Chain A
């Protein structure tokens, strides 16, 4: 791996704290329905930790990530990175969506570079672009436009673009959800490799239980509407994990049961 990119230790102050966060979407004039998306959500992610959030659809997972990214604001409660409160979006917290959302008018290289341009450091950190292209294994494709890329490659570009600004926390909103099963497993290793190389604090939203067990240090299980943290599961299995190991399977059925709200 490229030596300069391996930090070895997690960056100081890159822990994430969510304290008693509530998000309430105002009543719509027509439906007159007030939606309580998140209700008193509290948890912390240690610096360099990999945490997954899992839960049924519409449990407010994506809303939570948007709040942490600073793209939206909580109705009440507090969000912090290290000791600093989150007041808006910035390069400290990267976000990767299910759709890679690459800028179609930029080549792979310029997409990856766009974070540096936005921060106004493109010139002095010019060399990092090539390092990140190499880090995600897209050497021959630097000057290709995004529509030529397969889903997995596009998502790798999105990861490189999110990581080039050296965020303290990387938020992943079902980033592998649209990929086929094989590409997906390959990309899970890819994300783990990037994480181990850079020790960025990771928060992954997924609805794939296997993915959560395969990748995380801890799994937060959320309940639907209003979204609350139902259970926190710590995993201490060795990586790389074996998807057919008895512990893996036992945990899987345990979580499946937990998620089967109301039908127990």
Chain B
């Protein structure tokens, strides 16, 4: 039997051990799973990929040294250090990659992207510091933004921390309330009858439209911001949870009933797991809505956070700081988004091979 299985290429060590021979005819064609393109044994990194980043780095550095002749020295020097550091790091990486397959893998995937980013920096420097095509102070060069990022690092860090607290508070409140109301509306006909109209009327109003009311009702801007973010998250989470729950395949529920399941089991062990893919879509939509509401709330009411920092820097016409804050925001929000993707990949691991992500 073993040899027969080998003939069919089924003797991979990673698969479960074979069952007794009696079942051999019905042996599963265990799907090998989605094969990732990148999982081939790491080959050589193409020369072009290897040279792309150092090449672009040399051009960027040369251009900067040429342009920085008439720039303030502190600003020019910092960006010079940055580009030189990048250049040295990539040359070192290119030198040691033949010895380290993990690095090789990573470089194959990311070098083209890094090179493109350096090209973008070159273009930016070109239209600002070199050719002066864009008006100052609205469009500082990359060196100016880097200087703001470093000089104002402490304030930016503090703002990010405050944004994180506000976001976590509002998002988790919205998710908890949204899940509860979504499950109730999805499962109980009475909750659906009374809840659905509220959801349909109140839900679509953008959370930021409630700002005037929130300012009147709430004792502090912090509270009202948390409430607004929670409201923004609540709507998509409730909607998609309710839809996921009420679309649970009836036959799953029938099977569970004939296994002796009571209502608690049906809700928590059948309907909720079955609704999870839908619930995660709601969580992602809610996260997007929470970013928007966070920044708006910080701009108009809360006296801290990245949104506040942007409008404050704009007030002083320090556009380098505005862009620095935007960079931090991009990193901050995409990190949170990535974290949620990781959670989903874990929770919905059973979907792998069923659905293509």
Q: Which residues of A are in contact with B by a Cβ distance under 8 Å?
A: 66, 69-71, 89-91, 93-95, 97, 99, 101, 103-106, 114-115, 117-119, 137-145, 147-150, 152-153, 161-162, 165, 171, 182-183, 186
Chain A residues with CB under 8 Å of B262's CB are 118
CA distance in complex: A127, B196 (Å): 45
Q: Closest CB-CB distance, B261 to chain A, in whole Å?
A: 4
A140 in contact with B18 (CB, 8 Å): yes
Give the chain A neighbours of B260 by CB distance below 8 A.
90-91, 115, 118-119, 165
A-B CB pair tally, cutoff 8 Å: 111
Q: Which of A144, A147, A150, A171 meets B27, CB within 8 Å? A: A150
Residues of the B chain whose Cβ atoms lie less than 8 Å from the Cβ of A94:
258-259
Contact of A141 with B19 at beta-carbon distance under 8 Å, contacts A69-B258, A162-B259, A165-B260 already known: yes
Interface readout for B14-31 with A: 1 if CB under 8 Å, 0 if not? 001111101101111111
Sample 10 A-B pairs with CB under 8 A, ordered by A number. A89-B257, A95-B254, A103-B270, A106-B273, A114-B259, A115-B260, A144-B30, A145-B353, A148-B353, A182-B25
Q: How far is the CA of A99 from the CA of B353 in the complex (A)?
A: 19
* Cβ–Cβ contact A71 & B16, under 8 A: no
B258–A148 touching, CB < 8 Å: no
CB pair A105–B274 under 8 Å, yes or no, is yes
Q: Are B258 and A186 in contact (CB under 8 A)?
A: no
The chain B residue with its CB closest to the CB of A171 is B258
CA distance A119 to B256 in the complex (A): 10
For the complex formed, measure the closest distance between the CB of B36 and the CB atoms of chain A, giving whole angstroms. Answer: 17
Per-residue contact bits, chain B 250-282, to A (CB 8 Å; 1 contact, 0 not): 011011111111100100011001101000000
Chain A residues in 8 Å Cβ range of B256: 114, 118
Residues of chain A within 8 A (CB-CB) of B249 are: 101
Query: In this complex, which of B19, B20, B30 has the most chain A Cβ atoms within 10 angstroms of its Cβ?
Result: B19
CB distance from A202 to the nearest CB of B (A): 15
Residues of B within 8 A of A117 (CB): 265, 269
CB pair B20–A150 under 8 Å, yes or no, is: no
Q: Which 6 A-B pairs have the closest CB atoms?
A: A91-B260, A140-B16, A89-B257, A118-B261, A115-B259, A140-B17
B259 lies within 8 A of A103 (CB): no
Q: With A118-B269, A141-B16 given, is the CB distance from A186 to B25 under 8 Å?
A: yes
Q: Is B259 within 8 A of A153, CB to CB?
A: no
In the complex the two chains form, is B28's CB within 8 Å of A141's CB? yes
Contact A118–B18 (Cβ < 8 Å): no
**A residues in contact with B259, CB < 8 Å:** 91, 94, 114-115, 118-119, 161-162, 165
- Residue pair B265, A144 in contact (C-beta under 8 Å): no
Return B14 CB to nearest CB of chain A, in Å. Answer: 12
- Verify if B354 is at the interface (C-beta below 8 Å from A): yes
Task: Judge if B188 is at the interface, Cβ distance under 8 Å.
Answer: no
Give, as a whole number of angstroms, the nearest-CB distance from A147 to chain B: 5
Closest CB in chain A relative to B142 CB, distance in Å: 48
CB distance from B35 to the nearest CB of A (A): 15
> A112 to chain B: closest CB distance in Å?
10
Select which of B25, B29, B258 is within 8 A of A71 by beta carbon: B258
Q: How far is the CA of A151 from the CA of B31 in the complex (A)?
A: 13
